[in-house]
């Protein structure tokens, strides 16, 4: 029986610590191909490269693994993998990460890590984005490996609904073991941004994005609660952004006759 074909990408760049861990785990499960950005692409969301050149270079970084660095975004990487690198082969799984930093709650909208996973879901591939909620330069990823393998095996065995990608976040390494997994919803939380006005050495004005993260959610069924309580959070995400409940309300409550010519 042939091994599953697994496509690996990320947004921290092809030389990051997180992707090395992800590749090492995926090698246990199947045939691995890597297409990842040649430099960090954090916060790119689902951006794609238009009007500029895209470069793709094969690299010998991961032992025994076909790998390419790409000058584009995480979404570009998955698109190029489908249309060029895989040469018509269909991956059984797309995984992205392990991101160095959280992608819980609203961060999923800005995440390059999740954009690679969502792009995989757009193409009809079971997809997972993995992130570690620790921004420290000395962040310890070791406690994520067994869970990454278990979760990937579940997806390979059970598949995912059409258009769904899993957003998986791990708490920082603690003295106690992780308590388990919580399949949950995205928390009602956001960044309250501030733009710090500064001046460079030549006197030219620039702005630096700052601010604080605020969690408005008091529930115990969301990703922020799970992470705060030392659980792995798994949020099933979809690319269909339609607010379906609003369609019924607008058709029923709004007076569309006023808009008739």
List the CATH number of the domain containing 232: 3.40.1210.10
Residue 135 domain-assigned (yes or no): yes
Q: Which of 221, 224, 239, 229 is nearest to 102 (CA)?
A: 224
Q: Is the dihedral of CA 135, 138, 140, 141 positive or negative?
A: positive
pLDDT of 261 higher than 80:
no
Query: Mean pLDDT in the chain?
Result: 94
Task: For residue 104, give the 3-state DSSP assignment.
Answer: coil
Is residue 240 a part of any domain in this protein? yes
Tokens of 153: 């095996």
**pLDDT at position 259, please?**
78
139 lies in some domain? yes
**Dihedral angle over CA of 257, 251, 188, 237, nearest 10:** -130
**Domain assignment of residue 174, yes or no:** yes
pLDDT tens-digit map of 109-128: 999 999 999 999 999 999 99
CA geometry: angle 61, 62, 67, nearest 5 deg: 75
The three-state secondary structure class of 79 is: helix
Q: Is the pLDDT of residue 167 over 90?
A: yes
Query: Token pair for residue 106?
Result: 């609203």
User: Are residues 44 and 74 in contact, defined by beta-carbon separation less than 8 angstroms?
Assistant: yes
CB atoms within 10 A of CB 246: 9
Q: What is the pLDDT of residue 172?
A: 97
The least confident of 54-68, 112-126, 206-220, 221-235 is 206-220
Buried b or exposed e, range 45-81, using 16+ CB within 10 angstroms: bbeeeeeeebebeeeebbeebebbbbbbbbbbbbbbb
Number of domains in the chain: 1
Beta bridge pairs of residue 130: 168
| Bond preceding residue 98 cis, omega within 30 of 0 | yes
Taking the C-alpha atoms of residue 211 and residue 41, their distance in angstroms, rounded to an integer, is 21
Question: Which residue range forms the structural domain that includes residue 105?
Answer: 5-188+218-259
Give the residue ranges of the annotated binding site for a divalent metal cation.
11-12, 42, 99
Question: Is position 199 within any domain?
Answer: no
Left, alpha or beta for 51 (phi > 0: left; psi -120 to 50: alpha)?
left
Residue 196 domain flag: no
Q: What percent of the chain has pLDDT over 90?
A: 89
* Residue 208, in any domain of the structure: no
DSSP for 186-218, please give it.
PPSEEEEEEEEEEE-TTS-EEEEEEEEEEE---
Map residue 165 onto helix, strand or coil.
Answer: strand
pLDDT at 73 over 90: yes
Give the confidence band of 212 by pLDDT, cuts at 50, 70, 90.
confident
Is 198 a member of any domain?
no
What share of the chain has pLDDT > 70, as a percent?
Answer: 100
pLDDT digits (tens, 9 = 90+) for 31-41: 999 999 999 88
Angle (deg, nearest 10), helices 145-158 and 17-26: 50
- Is the pLDDT confidence value at 79 over 90? yes
Q: What is the mean pLDDT of residues 184-193?
A: 91
Q: Which residue has the higher pLDDT, 210 or 246?
A: 246
What average pLDDT does this structure show over 212-233?
Answer: 94
Per the structure block, which two tokens stand in for 111?
Answer: 């995440």
Annotated binding site: 11-12, 42, 99
């Amino acid at each position: 029986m042939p091994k599953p074909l697994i496509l690996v990408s990320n947004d921290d760049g092809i030389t990051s610590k997180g992707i090395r861990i992800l590749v090492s785990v995926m090698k246990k499960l199947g045939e691995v191909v890597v297409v990842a950005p040649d430099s960090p692409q954090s916060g790119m969301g689902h951006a794609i490269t238009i009007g500029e050149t895209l470069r793709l270079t094969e690299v010998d970084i991961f032992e025994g693994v076909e790998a390419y660095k790409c000058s584009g975004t995480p979404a570009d990487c998955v698109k190029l993998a489908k249309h060029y690198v895989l040469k018509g082969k269909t991956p059984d799984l797309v995984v992205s990460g392990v991101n160095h930093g959280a992608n819980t709650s609203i961060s999923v909208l800005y995440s390059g890590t999740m954009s690679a996973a969502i792009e995989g879901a757009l193409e009809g591939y079971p997809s997972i984005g993995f992130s570690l909620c620790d921004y420290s330069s000395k962040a310890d990823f070791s406690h994520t490996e067994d869970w990454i393998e278990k979760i990937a095996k579940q997806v390979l065995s059970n598949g995912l609904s059409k258009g769904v990608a899993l957003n998986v976040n791990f708490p920082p390494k603690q003295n106690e073991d992780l308590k388990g997994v919580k399949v949950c919803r995205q928390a009602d939380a956001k960044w309250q941004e501030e733009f710090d006005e500064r001046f460079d050495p030549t006197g030219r004005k620039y702005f630096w994005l700052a601010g604080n993260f605020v969690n408005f959610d008091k529930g115990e069924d969301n990703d922020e609660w799970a992470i705060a309580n030392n659980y792995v959070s798994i949020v099933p995400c979809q690319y269909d952004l339609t607010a379906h409940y609003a369609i019924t309300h607008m058709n029923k409550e709004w007076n569309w006759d006023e808009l008739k010519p």
